[in-house]
Chains A and B, each alone.
Chain A
Amino acid sequence: MEHFSLPALSRVVISGGTHGNEMTGVYVVREMAKNKVDKIGSASRTTVLSNPEAVKVCRRYIDKDLNRCFTDALLSATLTPSSPYEIKRAHELNALFGPKGSPQAVDILCDIHNTTANMGMCFIFYRFDWITLHIFKYIQSKASFGPVRAIQFDTPLPEAYSLEAVAKHGFTLEVGPQPTGVIRADIYNMVMEALDLIMDWLEKFNSGRTFEGGEVEAFCKTNALDYPRDPTTDDITAAVHPQLQDNDFKLLRPGDPIFQSFNGETVKYEGEEAYPFFVNECAYYEKKIAFQLARKISISLPSISVTKD
């Protein structure tokens, strides 16, 4: 099996409130900031509320979705007084924790999100990365809860648009189902446990432990489907079908029901076999997405350990 030696990971950022109404990250970051623990073993840990103005009003965003503001193009655009609030904030966060793609960027950034979809806990990566995949593998094996899944969006770095792209090894921790504006204790407890395990892994890695490789199963995004809509008003004319609702990651086959029209008709799936996720996520109505689809892939993870000086 292949083995890689990688540099120590010393700068960790935990972010919450990238969407101001996804409450787990908001309360986790507030609680961690209260404890003022900024050094855990050999790693320094910073917490940040990514979108404080949106958190104040408990909305996803003020002007523009912050988690779409981190493409290379948007980060290098000139700011003006009339730039959207989130564009300015993205520049600030990039200066604090990046610059994106540079050697000065922080090592790890874990951005905490919630979804109204029944996805359990998901690690979302925009590209393959041995560090983040090993962290995922470790959490998946040690967590007292399940399921824990990995989703890969396969976006080239310049086009990667979310906050975690700023770090060398960034990932989103997406947990659901939880309504916007609500804090559920069971979800909060899951995320706190996952974060403890992440810091635990980092400490072990930095101390020289070798993490064995192996096959890791992940979901690779392929496409998304919108709701059926009225052509004149653009209003949706159907809801996610009860047989698809809450069945994220359950294999969807051609002929399976996907929408229930308001007039009672069933709309059936007509694509290739695939795994649906983000099924009925409330923020995606405006993005014209009822659910996303993925294929299952198997990644051969090499073993890794820290480079010894």
Chain B
Amino acid sequence: MSGVTLVNLWMKNGAEIQRKTVDTKPFITNPRAVEKCARYVDTDLNRAFTPENLSASGGKELPYEVQRAQEINRLFGPKGSPEAYDVIFDLHNTTSNMGCTLILENSKDHFNLQMMNYIKRAIAPASCLVLLNEHPLLKYSTSRSVAKHPVGLEVGPQPQGVLRSNIFEAMRVILKHALDFIALFNEGMEFPSCTVEVFRVSESVDYPRDANGNIIAMVHPNLQDCDWEPLNPGDPMFQTFDGKTIPYQGTGTVYPTFINEAAYYEKQQAFVTTRRETLVASAIRKA
């Protein structure tokens, strides 16, 4: 609900997102899903921006979200072309205890890395971690991928259908700093080379399931809410419904996140593992 509420607010009064040198548009990506207060109507919009979907013919016969993806691609893309919008901030909530997380899709996007570095420094000592999903099998075609510099903003924990004041204000503050950065960049400020710590998506771990696909265990109480904390081989990972512990059996320490996200049961994911990495962002300045 945070993104929906913020965008609706800004559509009524956009003063706080305006910057002199930046043309910023608030936009509701999936209005029919918002109306129903459901994640999606036919298919997950945030997986729908594949080349096949974007070029599919069929008009009104297509699933609602595929039609919507094509419309968004017309409005803010075309994806991959010089006409595409520069930045899309894609606002999300999660039931996982992830705090504020910026999601990066490309480790060589120096503009995004510099912006993320700026945001992290601006909100310190509050924290905002960076999740990098460049994994060839696990990355997916997001709505923000239409833009040249896609930025995901994931804030949790918040249940679906609920608006928490602290989560709403945290998202609002991050957007403020992001837009400040873009304005400073447009005004000619140089941002020297810097390092950015990221958590790189490594593996998706599903729940144990029976032959019918039903889950047979839950995220273990010791792992629940422990996003970004080290998970070592042998640590409790799942608890079966009759009380047995299933330990993590990977080869080394990983940093799990998206732990127990409501929407991922159907995507066969209990959590993703990540590995810590330091990326170097080149100095940038407006040409």
Contact = CB atoms under 8 A, between A and B. Distances in A.
Contacts of A280: 162-164
Interface residues of A, number: 29
A118 B140 CA distance: 34
Contacts of B219: 184-185
Nearest to A285: B161
B188 interface: no
Given A31-B242, A185-B224, A188-B241, A260 B165 contact: yes
Contacts of A18: none
Contacts of B5: 239, 262
Interface string B239-255: 10111000000000000
A254 interface: no
Interface string B152-185: 0000011111111110110000000000000000
Main secondary structure of the interface of A (DSSP, over half): loop
A44 interface: no
A285 B262 CA distance: 20
A181 interface: yes
B160 A239 contact: no
A185 B168 contact: no
Contacts of A30: 214, 241
Given A179-B95, A185-B220, A239 B164 contact: yes
A260 B242 CA distance: 43
B160 A245 contact: no
Interface in A178-230: 178-186, 188-189
A239 B5 CA distance: 10
A182 B95 contact: yes
B22 interface: no
Interface in B189-211: none
Interface in A156-185: 177-185
Main secondary structure of the interface of B (DSSP, over half): loop
Interface string B206-244: 000000001100111100100000000000000101110
A58 to B, nearest CB: 8
Contacts of B160: 179-181, 282
A116 B262 contact: no
B274 interface: no
Contacts of A188: 218, 241
B241 A181 contact: no
A185 B239 contact: yes
A242 B166 contact: yes
Contacts of A245: 164-166
B164 A179 contact: no
Contact of A236 (B163, B218, B221, B224): B163
Contacts of B164: 239-240, 245, 280
B107 to A, nearest CB: 31
A235 interface: yes
B106 interface: no
B42 to A, nearest CB: 14
Given A179-B157, A235-B8, A239-B168, 11 more contacts: A30-B241, A180-B159, A181-B262, A184-B219, A185-B218, A186-B221, A240-B164, A260-B165, A260-B169, A262-B9, A282-B162
6 contacts: A116-B161, A181-B265, A182-B159, A183-B215, A245-B166, A282-B162
Closest 7 CB pairs of A and B: A179-B159, A181-B262, A282-B161, A239-B165, A185-B218, A116-B159, A179-B95
